[in-house]
Amino acid sequence: MKLFVYHTPELTPTDKAPECAIAVDVLRATSTIATVLAAGGEAVQVFSDLDQLIEVSEKWPSEKRLRAGERGGAKVAGFELGNSPLDCTPEVVQGRRLFISTTNGTRALQRVQDSPSVLAAALINRAAVVQYVLDKQPETVWIVGSGWEGSYSLEDTVCAGAIAHSLVQQTKLSQEELAGNDEVISAIALYSQWQDNLLGLLHQASHGQRLLRLDCLDDLKYCSQTDILDVLPIQHETGVLK
């Protein structure tokens, strides 16, 4: 198995695809997707374009759908939900499909949607994602961070490091054997330094600070937890995770 980490969708190669692609947006799209499915949501369907989301979701029975959208950290007007995982309780999401568009996270998922298997990972469901990789033993695995509008983000890289660190421990491969690019080594180093204070790292991250200005401390606390949800969001048809 060879693991590659790409910090943003823009840095991800376009001329090839891995056997298994893992999209990460710790703050907050993939944390929200994992939470919705763990809370009994029927599926999550992702869109980069808001007009397309509205068009497709309108064909769905209104009592079975929820529209969630975020731009600049704030909820899209007219949608039931923004992008806070804390709003996705079983009472709200059970049996419903979440149609979601966010600034960066949905773009990362769309970037790898043609891979044979596509997963959504966050810190909260890291163990479930790692277990899938261990079971399937894909030859190539890409972890694609969402970043922020094309730039590196600490929180996605630390999650990539958390996944890579666990794979090293459980496969008994050395870092060098597992790593397909240097980003893997640096992601593991970042995680190793911050694994006991992930909330502290999210406080330092520029998007963490943006969310704190929007009064989202509880979101940071929730998203900084590791392995609390045994859920594996996996793409069943293009853009639809269950």
Question: Site residues (CB under 6 A) for ligand 3SL?
Answer: 25, 27-29, 70, 73, 83, 102-105, 146, 211
What's the closest the beta carbon of residue 22 comes to ligand 3SL, in angstroms?
16
Nearer to ligand 3SL, 25 or 165 (CB): 25
What's the closest the beta carbon of residue 136 comes to ligand 3SL, in angstroms?
26
CB 118 within 8 A of CB 238: no
CB 126 within 8 A of CB 163: yes
The Cα–Cα gap between 22 and 162 comes to 13
Nearer to ligand 3SL, 64 or 221 (CB): 221
What's the closest the beta carbon of residue 15 comes to ligand 3SL, in angstroms?
25
The Cα–Cα gap between 85 and 122 comes to 12
Q: How, if at all, do strands 240-241 and 43-46 pair?
A: antiparallel
Q: In what order do the strands lie in the sheet with 20-24?
A: 2-6, 140-145, 20-24, 117-121
Nearer to ligand 3SL, 110 or 166 (CB): 110
What's the closest the beta carbon of residue 185 comes to ligand 3SL, in angstroms?
26
Alpha helices in the chain (DSSP H): 29-38, 50-57, 90-93, 105-111, 126-136, 154-171, 175-178, 182-194, 198-204, 206-213, 217-223
Nearer to ligand 3SL, 50 or 189 (CB): 50
Nearer to ligand 3SL, 1 or 122 (CB): 122
What's the closest the beta carbon of residue 13 comes to ligand 3SL, in angstroms?
21
